Amino acid sequence: QISEAEVALFSVSSYACQRRTTLDNHNSNLTDALSLLAENAELNNEDGRGVAFRRAAALMKALPTQVISMSQLRGLPCLGEHSLRVIKDVLENGVSSEVESTKQSKRYKALKILTGIFGVGAKTADRWIREGIYNLEQLRHSGQTLNRAQKSGLEHYDDLNEPVTKAEADAIGEIVQKAVDSVLTGSQVALTGGFRRGKLTGHDVDFLITHPEEGKEVGLMPKVVAWLESQGFLLYQKTTRNSYLESKDGPARPASNMDRFERCFSIFKLTKGKEQETASHKIWRAVRVDLVVSPISQFAFAVLGWTGSKLFERELRRWAGHEKNMSLSSHALFDNTQNKYLRATSEEEIFAYLGLEYIPPSERNA
Ligand code: DCP
Ligand code: MG
């Protein structure tokens, strides 16, 4: 037993964007449990519940030491009744009964398998489950019509569910840089997403492309894609146009948190190094790659918005709105009080406008 006096209390800010969250997590037993429940909620389109579990998990990730007793959690923000119950269960029994029963449930297993197909979201998976489809075998024999993305996703299922390594991300980065150099000299490529935060693996590779001269980036994406296609690097690609228009009256409220950059969702065909060749003798693997083109004037916002983590981004936007009366997106920062856009050429400047201490990418792993 630990006495009251021995209990180490933590003091933690309530917004994830005020905290430094590195990859070294002292409470993975707790964060794994909470993250699984968050994922399950998201797969069931229960967004509020999902965010609550994500916030609780993120808070536990930010603690400097391992939690061993419930009393240490007194006064901490972000921990609702449900999350506390899960934490208590794990601390007392080693596992959470709710997590265990979720993992075993037929519905959760099916949602995981089906949404593991690129191009399949929670809604589609739910519809299929209601039609009795629980796995890939049943899907293949169901006669369901799949769109182009889903067909590709199913075809490359195993590869796309295999984590991408940093070495693979770097190899793809070199190819993208070569593509960009071949179509417009002076263009810049930045690795964003989890790899920029220092993660060693990811589910995809995210790149942001720009050119130091404003306007030169227009029309870049189709050329880059055409070059990659001509060299045989693409197994699948779908490009969406830029639909962002800055208005004088401030940012129109976007329909979702999705930004409106010109974006290419792709599946790369990456030739493996000798060491990675497997028993199947397949000499290449499929990798999900996202390419985004940004004008230089929005680049700092785009880098910040695409570095993540998803929760860190959500919390930055919540902080901006609730605490600063500003609207932050991956395109711009609008001050609703002064009724004007705030320009920035670096992430540091954006944090400063928001009145936040600068948090480097490696500490945004909330
Ligand atoms: N992002 C976002 N909203 C979107 C799409 C992306 O906020 N609609 C941001 C946050 C993510 C980053 O872009 O961190 C990249 O998206 P990913 O889904 O690739 O997330 P990660 O790169 O962080 O994770 P992983 O390592 O699994 O790829
Ligand atoms: Mg990513």
Q: pLDDT means per 10 residues in the chain (366 residues)?
A: 63 95 98 98 98 98 96 96 98 98 98 98 98 98 97 98 98 98 97 98 98 97 98 97 75 62 96 78 94 98 98 98 98 98 98 98 98
Q: What is the pLDDT of residue 257?
A: 58
* Ligand 1 pocket, CB under 6 A: 193-194, 199, 202-204, 206, 257-258, 305-306, 308-310, 313
Q: Which of 32, 89, 290, 335 is catalytic?
A: 290
Distance (Å) from CA 177 to ligand 2 centroid: 18
Distance (Å) from CA 308 to ligand 1 centroid: 6
Contact at 8 Å (CB) between 57 and 34? yes
Contact at 8 Å (CB) between 330 and 261? yes
Kindly tell me the burial class for residue 106, based on how many C-beta atoms sit within 10 Å of its own C-beta (0-12, 13-18, 19 or more). Answer: exposed
7-46 burial: b if 16+ Cβ within 10 Å, else e = eeebebeebbbbbebeeebebebbbebbbbbbbbbbbbee
Contact at 8 Å (CB) between 190 and 170? no
Kindly tell me the burial class for residue 363, based on how many C-beta atoms sit within 10 Å of its own C-beta (0-12, 13-18, 19 or more). Answer: middle
Q: Is 290 a catalytic residue?
A: yes
Contact at 8 Å (CB) between 348 and 304? no
Residue 293: beta bridge partners?
Answer: 209, 262
Q: Which of 126, 204, 259, 335 is catalytic?
A: 204
Q: Which amino acid is at 103?
A: K
Q: What is the pLDDT of residue 9?
A: 79
Of the candidates 308, 358, 258, 304, which has an alpha carbon nearest to the alpha carbon of residue 54?
308
Q: What is the pLDDT of residue 280?
A: 73
Question: What is the 3 state secondary structure string of 316-365?
Answer: HHHHHHHHHCEEECCCCEEECCCCEECCCCCHHHHHHHCCCCCCCHHHEC
Distance (Å) from CA 337 to ligand 2 centroid: 34
The closest ligand to the CA of 308 turns out to be 1
Distance (Å) from CA 122 to ligand 1 centroid: 17
297-333 burial: b if 16+ Cβ within 10 Å, else e = bbbbbbbbbbbbbebbbbbbbebbeeebebbbbbbbb
> How far is the C-alpha of 334 from the C-alpha of 338, rounded, in Å?
9
Q: What is the pLDDT of residue 276?
A: 75
User: Which residue is closest in CA terms to ligand 1's atom 7?
Assistant: 310
Distance (Å) from CA 55 to ligand 2 centroid: 20
> How far is the C-alpha of 189 from the C-alpha of 356, rounded, in Å?
27
> How far is the C-alpha of 149 from the C-alpha of 79, rounded, in Å?
38
**Ligand 1 probe mutation, 306, 316, 328, 359, most atoms within 8 A of CB:** 306
Q: Which of 206, 249, 259, 335 is catalytic?
A: 206
Atom of ligand 1 nearest to the CA of 314: 7
> How far is the C-alpha of 161 from the C-alpha of 153, rounded, in Å?
10
Q: What is the pLDDT of residue 238?
A: 98
Atom of ligand 1 nearest to the CA of 199: 26
Atom of ligand 1 nearest to the CA of 258: 8
User: Which residue is closest in CA terms to ligand 1's atom 17?
Assistant: 193
Contact at 8 Å (CB) between 181 and 211? no
